[in-house]
Structure 1
Amino acid sequence: MSRLSRPSRPIGKNGATRAFRTTRRARLGAAAGAVCLLLAGASVADARGWWSPRGNEVRVMLPEGQNNPAIANGVAIGRDVALYESSGLGPAGLNPAAPAGTPERYTDPALTAGKQGVTITEAQALLVLRAIVDNLQAAGLRPRDVITMTCYLTAPPGQETADYAGWNRAYRQYFANVDLATREVIEVPMGTSPPEEPLVPNAARPARATMEVASLAVPGWLVEVEVTAAYPARR
């Protein structure tokens, strides 16, 4: 006989006391749980108030008090937003004068012509980001639609660490180069040359991570980048 089908037994004095205590504990527990739930709900509501996007919205959280931050603190994506995720893209070998398999092979001398102090990582990053722009355009997107970015760097030959400064200079040529308060385009340097108008004016500040890795898939690559972009909501 299952427990549910057993006949009920009379509850004696001790049984009634136990039943009362059990019921009282259950009610107290439920009340306490309700209070905790209300408090938790209030905290979640407060935290989610600005962050919680509508279904077709993308909300970018930027550092407070900065007109020209390089990257976002984070991004909130509505459940109905259509996303595009690129593969990791590296630089094309556009310098045939350089030996195969060397970092110099994966640069474009025409892109940095007349500039001083452009590092090899910077030169490669300029190519990679140009490829990112082309990739986005082929998918019906623009650089301003990028919401997240991951960059992998390796140390140039003879150097102990990756060239983060060179990467960041190249990044500013394509991203985060419009003042958020005035909407004016910000001049940026290439190498040690005086700042000039960026290659692609773009106000987007993606949520970004940059890390050094031991090696990349193609010998000679110092930079590889992948991005996520959001398709604008249809009006």
Structure 2
Amino acid sequence: MEWNRNLKVILATALVSCFVGATVYAAATPNKLPLTPIHEPEFYGSPSSSISSGVAVPEGVATFSTSGTVPPMLNKEGKTVYERYGNTEKQAEGVLLNIEKQLKEQGLSLKDVVYLRVYVTPDAALGGKFDYTGWFNAYGKFFNTKDNPVKPARSTVGVASLVSSDWLIEIEAVAVYPKGHNKD
């Protein structure tokens, strides 16, 4: 009977410790969720990063998503992928300009983009390595700039190939319609 009483004391102590620990953790860790409703997208993350680590979108806000957008052909008569479409940076610039055009047709701009998903393929000119730097350079011309300070959340994924072996990059974008936009 003595050990049964000791077991109850040990279990009670452990249970109280868990509650105390959880309470201390909760008090020391601020709630990252918006406590009040948001009315515009809110971007989260380090101010020194060129991308956001996350974006909160207000309830009921309309979004526009592009399909995977691929590079425009620069020179149909080009003998190499680089003459036909350009390197990763040039291709990414062409894709972002195309996305910008798609957004404009919907009454949006690159300032409304909250998320990008990017697929990059190996570049033969770089020994089969992924040209992430080329992509990052192109991104830096369109986002986190003086003209467009928006830093969308973003995923960049290295993939084996895209539909055309000439394409080194494909990009999907999600944009949020500004406050007051009425879908009707």
Indicate the TM-score class for this superposition, using the shorter chain for normalisation. 0.7 to 0.9
Q: What are structure 2's unaligned runs of at least 5 residues?
A: 1-15
Q: RMSD of the alignment, in Å?
A: 2.8
In structure 2, what is the equivalent of residue 60 of structure 1? 43
In structure 2, what is the equivalent of residue 105 of structure 1? 84
User: Within 5 A, what are the aligned runs for 1:135-150?
Assistant: 135-150=102-117
Length-normalised TM-score, structure 2: 0.77
Deviation at 1:55, TM superposition (A): 5.5
Q: Structure 1: which 4+ aligned runs deviate by more than 6 Å?
A: none
State the number of aligned residues: 163
Please state if 1:176 is matched with 2:144.
yes
Structure with the larger RCO, 1 or 2 (CA within 8 Å, 6+ apart): 2
Deviation at 1:97, TM superposition (A): 3.1
Q: What are structure 1's unaligned runs of at least 5 residues?
A: 1-31, 108-119, 179-200
User: Within 5 A, what are the aligned runs for 1:64-213?
Assistant: 64=47, 66=48, 69-99=49-79, 102-107=81-86, 120-158=87-125, 159-178=127-146, 201-213=147-159
| Partners of 1:83 and 1:122 in 2: CA distance | 27
Deviation at 1:105, TM superposition (A): 1.0
% same residue: 33
Moved more, 90-99 or 120-129: 90-99
| Partners of 2:66 and 2:82 in 1: CA distance | 23
| Partners of 1:55 and 1:81 in 2: CA distance | 11
| Partners of 1:96 and 1:163 in 2: CA distance | 23
| Partners of 2:95 and 2:149 in 1: CA distance | 19
Deviation at 1:57, TM superposition (A): 2.9
Q: Max radius of gyration: which structure?
A: 1
